[in-house]
Amino acid sequence: MRTWRLLFLLALFSGNSPLPAQGGPADDTEEEGPGREVQEIAQLGYMEAIILGVVEGITEYLPISSTGHLLLTNELLGLNSEDPLLDEEGQLLRTPGGEVVTLKEAADAYAIVIQAGAILAVLILYWPRIYQAILGCLGLNPVGRRLARNLLLAFLPAAVLGLLFDDFIEAALFAPLPIAIALAVGGFLMIGIENWRKHHHMGGDDVTDLHTLGVRQSLLIGFLQCIAMWPGTSRSMMTIVGGYLAGLPPAKAAEFSFLLGLITLTAAAGYKTVTSGPALFMAIDMGPLLLGIAVAFVSAALAVKWLVAWLTRHGLTIFAYYRFVLAALVVIFLVR
């Protein structure tokens, strides 16, 4: 996503909510001014904040694709409109580069911001591990140092490839059909990896922990995380699968996925926030924004606790069947 999207998010949540021009998308040469008529559109209010917060929190760490679910939710809520937006004076809202912005950019930017709730949930639930890694970075804990090394190695591929291919992925894959394909393919992958794990990793006294992963194993998980740049794939799924392949048992694979997600999500959200300018947050209406973050925090915390318990007893198979059903519904109702 382009870094200027937060500019529009701030304008949307300001006291003067932008509205689209009547009659559909406007041409850049079209007249602007107070005399233009406008019509109301779907807005990111409190109800949308609750819905998107629940979807973000539950799906961020479950292996079912948060990006895919948020895009589909935006579609159902009518937030994927490409109508140009106006301020209350009837003037087109533009990016610093002069491009006209739409409600779709607002919804995408809002989805990035409310990830803060999911980030906070892992930060609190796994604080002992995080504190251990911090001590390791300071040279005070050898186990924490190896854990921090493994997490940073796993993060590195996404940091590089994400910057290189972000625009291409957004243009080519942010649509219902590519999401449905990714959901279905991911379902088959999970069934296959579960069958493989049950035949090759039955547990034992030599269970691998996060800090005992090697450089190659950590990089493997990191490169698999990059595949999840395709919406519908699921970052959580790919990193848990990577953890399985690296020898981690289900609970440990999920834990590594959560901690890696903490770094990846924080870096992505932080990058867009910094590049958009901190002063812009003065224009945000904090009500819907804080509500979305709070709802995402609660739902993410519950999802994380449930997922660890479920994976330990049952594995990934149930999520594969969910993905098949959702992929079919997307094709039937949303693919045009």
Tell me if 72 sits within 8 A of 330, measured CB to CB: yes
* 181 CB neighbour count, 10 Å cutoff: 17
> What is the overall mean pLDDT for the chain?
80
Q: What are the b/e assignments for 102-131, b being 16+ CB within 10 Å?
A: bbbbbbbbbbbbbbbbbbbbbeebbeebbe
Q: Tell me the sheet residues that pair with 92.
A: 86
Give the model's pLDDT for residue 98: 65
Establish if 80 belongs to a structural domain: yes
Query: Who has greater pLDDT, 154 or 41?
Result: 154
Establish if 25 belongs to a structural domain: no
Q: Is the pLDDT of residue 125 over 90?
A: yes
The Cα 49–Cα 155 span in angstroms is: 29
Give the model's pLDDT for residue 91: 72
Q: Tell me the sheet residues that pair with 94.
A: 100
Give the model's pLDDT for residue 78: 83
Give the model's pLDDT for residue 273: 65
Q: Please report, in angstroms and rounded to a whole number, the separation of the first and last CA atoms in the chain.
A: 23
Tell me if 8 sits within 8 A of 109, measured CB to CB: yes
**Quick one: tokens of 177?**
């059909």
Give the model's pLDDT for residue 26: 41
Cα angle 231, 236, 239 (rounded to 5 degrees) comes to 110
DSSP characters for 214-228? -HHHHHHHHHHHHHT
Establish if 103 belongs to a structural domain: yes
Establish if 30 belongs to a structural domain: no
Cβ-proximal residues to 21 (8 Å cutoff; 6+ apart), any chain: 30, 36, 38, 83, 84, 86, 92
Give the model's pLDDT for residue 35: 38
pLDDT, average across residues 134-143: 96
Q: How far is CA 245 from CA 51, 52, 62, 285, in A?
A: 35, 33, 18, 45
Tell me if 12 sits within 8 A of 44, measured CB to CB: yes
pLDDT tens digit string along 155-199?
Answer: 999 989 887 887 788 777 888 899 999 999 999 999 999 999 888
Strand 85-86 relative to strand 19-20: parallel, antiparallel, unpaired? antiparallel
Domain that holds residue 184: 5-19+41-333
Establish if 32 belongs to a structural domain: no
Residue type, 282: M
The Cα 236–Cα 30 span in angstroms is: 45
Query: Who has greater pLDDT, 317 or 114?
Result: 317
Tell me if 119 sits within 8 A of 296, measured CB to CB: no
pLDDT tens digit string along 223-245?
Answer: 999 999 898 999 999 999 999 99
Q: Tell me the sheet residues that pair with 85.
A: 20
pLDDT tens digit string along 51-105?
Answer: 999 999 999 999 998 888 888 898 888 888 777 766 667 677 665 566 666 777 7
Q: Is the pLDDT of residue 300 over 90?
A: yes
Residue 51 CB burial class (10 angstroms; 0-12, 13-18, ≥19)? middle
Confidence (pTM)? 0.80
Establish if 13 belongs to a structural domain: yes
Q: How far is CA 22 from CA 27, 78, 92, in A?
A: 12, 16, 12
Q: How many domains does the chain have?
A: 1
Establish if 70 belongs to a structural domain: yes
Give the model's pLDDT for residue 333: 83
pLDDT tens digit string along 257-287?
Answer: 999 999 998 987 777 666 544 434 443 567 8
Establish if 164 belongs to a structural domain: yes
Give the model's pLDDT for residue 304: 96
